[in-house]
Amino acid sequence: AQQYENILVETRGRVGLVTLNRPQALNALNKATMEEIVAATAAMDADPAVGAVVITGSEKAFAAGADIKEMSSKGYMDMYAEDWFRGWESLTRLRIPVVAAVSGFALGGGCELAMMCDVIIAGDNAKFGQPEINLGVIPGMGGSQRLTHAVGKAKAMDMVLTGRMMDAAEAERAGLVSRVVPAASVVEEALKAAEVIASKSKPAAMLAKEAVNAAFELGLAQGVLFERRVFHSLFATEDQKEGMAAFSEKRQPEFKHR
């Protein structure tokens, strides 16, 4: 297995688990960490034995943002020439579902990383925020866009302009997170959710993810048409036959393509 410096990687059943491991920097996302997350999750995406991924941090911090110390002395041409943060786009192109297990701080790039995931399970100690305004900049990993999609203009403007944090209860009310669970069990609950996802027909799960994501890119009529065409296409799979037969026979389905 490949060795990483900033993350821990393991497989639990059909779920790949990535744990950010830079405790000395509250899991600040430097370039090396981004590259490791992208490489590890891409390998999981390509592994037929893996059906879902969980990304988590520590109890104190999911991630406290992009690494401020790594960026502070850079100039415009450095950022532009390196197309800083572009590497994260690879994470958003994974086909298998990704669950974020968020405990503690999810700030700046940490909040943005969580929002790149498909499901966010938050501990009741989670704190979300886009504090870049306090550093004289703005979100750079998609926060101004994904947060606005997730919680609407009113909350997004509040968060991005004041830099204040949202606690887990407010994040759930606002629709930023999927579920809130006790902080001590956030990884366990995320692994359970991911295992449920990974037990489904893999093509169905991947296409379900693609269809929901299409809602952020397409107009309603185009999106509904995309969904219907994909729905039709799933009738070419053995798993559709098995899933529907199992329902009629009152038994659990045994999906072939997992």
Q: Give the residues lining the site for ligand CAA (CB under 6 A).
A: 25-26, 28, 64-69, 105, 107-109, 112, 131-132, 135, 139-141, 143
Question: Dihedral sign, CA of 167, 58, 15, 113?
Answer: positive
Nearer to ligand CAA (CB atom), residue 66 or residue 100: 66
Residue 28's closest CA among 3, 60, 2?
60
Catalytic residue chosen out of the listed positions 112, 172, 189, 227: 112
Nearer to ligand CAA (CB atom), residue 2 or residue 72: 72
Task: Indicate if 43 belongs to the active site.
Answer: no
> For residue 129, what are its two tokens?
């925020």
Smallest distance from ligand CAA to CB 55, Å: 16
Nearer to ligand CAA (CB atom), residue 18 or residue 28: 28
Catalytic residue chosen out of the listed positions 16, 65, 108, 109: 109
Smallest distance from ligand CAA to CB 192, Å: 28
Residue type, 146: R
Task: Indicate if 70 belongs to the active site.
Answer: no
Smallest distance from ligand CAA to CB 128, Å: 11
Nearer to ligand CAA (CB atom), residue 108 or residue 123: 108
Catalytic residue chosen out of the listed positions 66, 100, 204, 208: 66
Question: How far is the C-alpha of 65 from the C-alpha of 62, rounded, in Å?
Answer: 9
- Ramachandran sector of residue 175 (left: φ over 0; alpha: ψ -120 to 50; beta: rest): left
Smallest distance from ligand CAA to CB 123, Å: 15
Task: Indicate if 89 belongs to the active site.
Answer: no
Smallest distance from ligand CAA to CB 152, Å: 20
The number of residues in the chain equals 258
Name the helix (H) or strand (E) containing 196: helix 186-198
Task: Indicate if 163 belongs to the active site.
Answer: no
CB 54 within 8 A of CB 190: yes
Question: How far is the C-alpha of 27 from the C-alpha of 58, rounded, in Å?
Answer: 8
> For residue 56, what are its two tokens?
């988590």
Nearer to ligand CAA (CB atom), residue 67 or residue 172: 67
Question: Dihedral sign, CA of 240, 213, 119, 26?
Answer: positive
For the annotated catalytic residues, the residue numbers are 66, 109, 112, 132
